Structure 1
């Protein structure tokens, strides 16, 4: 009976313990790291935080070297200095124990419980965050218990039935309560269930809560910032790997988790102000701790010393080049707004907002209108600051120049003052102009402003040819197109020369009139005159003048002149007087009158026979010569002599096929025994026109009164001297076996 009562009292006391009235375990005080020495480590032997009353537990204090501490060790019980002793002591009473050695700080508190109960729950020690812990349900002495069961916060742990111990994985520092139950049978009949006291597992910190350290809580805009997440691993777990992450206002900074406890921010800006903290966790991700927040306020600095730089340096540009406007500030924080401006223009050229102390604006393909004064402005909310103004000059390469001639008249003459004017319509002054004649430099002239330049030239005949010019303002020379110039020379007063076969001109000679101007541009037109009557004209395209041939008669005596004209003014020659004698050069004196009469009679008969012979042959040969030496003409046609001067009529090529009707031939005069060996005789015939012929040629009938004189010569066909040939005379050939030819000279009016 007393034994039964004792057991009931024991059960009631155990139920009271289960309700939590005796099993509270104080936590070790939390300490933040602040540059103090690492904590000492307190070890238990046996390694259980709960023991039965009357048992002994040995406490050992270890320093940072994880070896037993040397020298005096300070022992604390319930946060009070208890003993100063060696590094190991034995205890028998419950309490919170701590220790401290030289070179280390105070260890975490360890609660050791000595229980009077028959059933206790033991937890292995030491235990760190994330460790696996062993729980053992222990019965005092040799008491036998059955059906052991383990619980956490009133719930049975899985797979924990009737085991002497279990392992709880990855414990944490929380307020979970663990206990166990066991069953006894009294006299092997009545079952009695016992419950241990509740137990808080003493889980030590694997690493301290991190503390965020910043290089400055009020950084300047644009300055760098260093963040350090500071913590400390337990000396008993030195190989645990940690990783770190930094945050601002719930936004992750950097690349996220990193094994480095530092984060370097290159530059801080006003928008970077806010709340910062860091987190530390094990690489296995089962333990994570967060630091307290720190407020960081970024301060801004107003911009100062705004400067504008222009490339190319000096603001000297060539049209078509690219220009770069560089705006910079010596100081200024945060976001800076840069703008570029040109004097006289309302709107800005461009605007850029960026976190930089320098910005660029590119102007492509500058034009002449881009020249002017430029400046820039910078602003970071404190107000714009302007730079100094810089002058930009845009130089324009010269265009192809145009060469023009300026002369007193349309046609340039020798002696004129010619102005060569060269001008480029585009190009920055000053411009140097060079003038060329056939690629030979004539000279140069500079134009300080627009309008081109000129070069004066007094013309000579050598100045004809091609002219050009070029323009150069240092940006590349340009050449003009070539322009041709022809310098004309007025004709000089011509010289008339008369060229006859002999010293004394006689009837029948061929007189050559030669007119020549020694100076004058070609072509030159020459006119020939006899007593102001025009004889004819001839054009000369090169030197040597021009000639006119005249078969002389007695009427050709008189004054001769010529005129030269090349369109620049006619010039008249000096008058040359010429005299023609009435005697033919072939006539010779007769020695006696009797001989002369005899010969005249014989020759008259021969001439009449020859004329009849020619007339007969002309009837047989259409278009041939008549017996008198005249051309065969149709009765219906008429041929008039030239009115300007006496001229020879070439009857070599007949123009009509019908022969003339027979007419009466009346000899008027004959040369007997002519002096020319090639000339047999010359004869003058008069032709009396019939009414039929007069009707067909009314003009001749009216002017010549039915009388026409025919001059003819009978010459050898094969002359003895070739020097007597006259190219201007036509030939009418007889049969091949005849040795004479009849040369008609001219048809003259009856009044001649």
Structure 2
């Protein structure tokens, strides 16, 4: 058992890096004994380095013995006192031993911690007949007139601390059988097994995308170094970290939704304590973006520029952001460092619901804008090629008109017109919307069309119209 405790102490030192103090234990585990009884005191300490340790025993401030154990084979009242031990440079807390010469003592463990299953024993000297034991707590009877000498208090907490007393009737060796009542009392101090935990957050403050770590900090009683603790974490009263041996809880990439009131809980099989809540607010790395039309197109051919507007937190001023743009949910510009998207000459098909995203370069934080509807209207209608008749006699004048209607939004726009026959240009772009042949010939027959443009980027074509030039002879039409 001693080897196991030493191993536990070594393990805890290696895990925590905290220097551990030696602990005095009694065998048997009672802090009060009769004169003539024996007791062994042990100095338990986890050695973290090879080699033997030197143990020194101190009684009432004076060195009295060396060695890991200190046995008193037949105690006398002079052995009463405050005992501690030193291993290397570390000194244990004081353990009180009382050696008494009465007839009854109330046996209680050397150390009592919350969560212990506590049993007290009203012990009398061997060789005597005893009966009827009564137990008291703070002068109130809690177990009366029993044949048993034990009081099972059960799993204790701080309210079980107090002054306990027992009385017992003992038969003294006289001519007549005579029972005399003897008593003893002891003060039970219930010690904290561990302190109420405190929840600690790092870093401070926390910004979206940060790795947030919560630590459930407590300190275990140095007299119970081998106690296994488990830890759980809560946000707004709901469990976010199940009970485990780790006192840490981490959020890899904190988001605003991770804000809330956090607490933690520490438990053993019999003791459970929860920390106070701390309010944690995850700061925005950047605000939700807004998509804005800087150069807003009204009609086709206009230049369109959209900006994905956001503001970066002053807590992380150097963060690199990336921006994509979407039309009707489909990507029109991939993620890059520019927060603008432009179309040099907007077309009707560029109409739609536009949105943008903003994200960090590592993708840990990403936010989307609302939709911005953009409707691009026609600058001019698709042209229609008009001719007075599609059947023209040779020698007649043929006039073609390229008709279109200009948007009232831009009434002063200058349009240019070009004409084609069988796909070949017969009149270059110019301001005239007419094309004429003064004296048509048979070879002027063909498929005619026209184009209208406002710029090199905005050109619209008419449908083709077939024109037949008929032969005319001696004033009679050629059938």
Counterpart of 1:169?
Answer: 154
| 2:376 aligned residue | 368
Helix, strand or coil for the counterpart of 2:475? coil
Match of 2:180 in 1: 192
Structure 1 equivalent of residue 5 of structure 2 = none
In the other structure, the counterpart of 2:272 is 288
Considering only aligned residues, what root-mean-square deviation do their CA atoms show, in Å?
4.9
Structure 1 residue 63 displacement after superposition:
0.9
User: How far, CA to CA, are the matches of 1:160 and 1:400 in structure 2?
Assistant: 113
Q: 1:89 aligns with which of 70, 74, 78?
A: 70
Q: Distance in 2 between matches of 1:89 and 1:41?
A: 13
Indicate which of 71, 87, 96 corresponds to 1:101.
Answer: 87
Question: Is 1:75–1:85's contact at 8 Å kept on the other side of the alignment?
Answer: yes
Q: 2:267 aligns to what SS in structure 1? A: strand
Structure 1 residues 586-601: aligned runs within 5 Å: none
1:147 is matched with: 132
Query: CA offsets, 1:3-55, max 9 Å, x none?
Result: xxxxxxxxxxxxxxxxxxxxxxxxxxxxxxx9631232222123211101354
Pick from 520, 523, 545: which aligns with 2:475? 520
Q: Of 250, 263, 266, which aligns to 2:249?
A: 263
Residue 230 of structure 1 corresponds to 217
CA contact (8 A) 2:83 2:94 kept: yes
Instruction: Give the gaps of 5 or more residues in structure 2.
Output: 1-15, 285-312, 327-331, 334-340, 408-412
What is aligned with 2:347? 318
Aligned partner (choices 476, 480, 504) of residue 463 of structure 2: 480
1:443 and 2:426 matched: yes
**2:41 matches 1:41:** no
Measure the CA separation in 2 of the matches of 1:457 and 1:429.
25
Tell whether 2:414 aligns with 1:405: no
Give the CA deviation at 1:421. 2.5
Q: Find the counterpart in structure 1 of residue 296 from structure 2.
A: none
| CA–CA separation in structure 2 for the residues paired with 1:46 and 1:191 | 29
Please tell me whether the aligned partners of residues 213 and 227 of structure 1 are also in contact (alpha carbons under 8 angstroms).
yes
Contact 1:406-1:421 at 8 Å conserved across structures: no
TM-score, with length taken from structure 2 = 0.64
**Do the aligned partners of 1:228 and 1:261 also contact (CA within 8 Å) in 2?**
yes
Distance 1:457 1:209 in 2: 103
Conserved? CA contact 1:459–1:487, under 8 Å: no
Retained in 2: the 8 A contact 1:212–1:291?
yes
Secondary structure, aligned partner of 1:197:
strand
Shift of 1:255: 1.0
Give the superposition deviation at 1:180.
Answer: 1.8
Shift of 1:87: 1.7
* 8 Å CA contact retained: 2:266, 2:273: yes
1:106-505 superposed matches below 5 A? 106-125=91-110, 127-157=112-142, 161-173=146-158, 174-184=160-170, 191-200=179-188, 205-207=192-194, 209-216=196-203, 218-219=204-205, 221-222=207-208, 223-231=210-218, 238=226, 240-245=228-233, 251-252=236-237, 255=240, 257-259=242-244, 260-265=246-251, 266-267=253-254, 278-282=264-268, 284=269, 286-290=270-274, 301-302=313-314, 312-313=332-333, 314-316=341-343, 317-321=346-350, 322=352, 324-326=354-356, 358-364=367-373, 366-368=374-376, 400-405=382-387, 414-425=394-405, 433-436=418-421, 439=422, 441=424, 443=426, 445-446=428-429, 453-462=433-442, 467-469=447-449, 471=451, 479-480=462-463, 482=465, 484=467, 489=472
C-alpha distance in structure 1 between counterparts of 2:185 and 2:428, whole Å: 121
Distance 1:400 1:168, change over 3 A: same
Q: Spell out, residue by residue over 1:708-749, the C-alpha distance to the aligned partner (whole angstroms, 9 max, x if none).
A: xxxxxxxxxxxxxxxxxxxxxxxxxxxxxxxxxxxxxxxxxx
Question: In the TM superposition, what is the alpha-carbon distance from 1:520 to its structure 2 partner?
Answer: 2.8
Secondary structure in 1 matching 2:205: coil
Give the structure with the higher percent strand. 2
- Whole-angstrom distance in 2 between the partners of 1:432 and 1:272: 64
Q: Which has the larger radius of gyration?
A: 1
Whether the 8 Å CA contact 1:118–1:140 is kept in 2: the answer is yes
Q: Retained in 2: the 8 A contact 1:270–1:299?
A: no
Contact 2:402-2:417 within 8 A present in 1 as well: no
Q: Tell me how far apart the structure 2 counterparts of residues 207 and 107 of structure 1 sit (CA, whole Å).
A: 18
Cα shift at 1:57: 2.6
Question: TM-score, normalising length from structure 1?
Answer: 0.43
Instruction: Give, in angstroms, the shift of residue 194 of structure 1.
Output: 2.5
Structure 1 portions without partners, runs of 5+:
1-33, 332-354, 370-395, 490-517, 523-540, 543-752
CA distance in 2, matches of 1:294, 1:83: 50
Q: Deviations over 1:184-210 (max 9, x none)?
A: 45765665332222341x656544554
- Counterpart secondary structure, 2:240: coil
Is residue 446–residue 453 contact of structure 1 (8 Å, CA) maintained in 2?
A: no
Q: CA deviation at 1:172?
A: 3.2
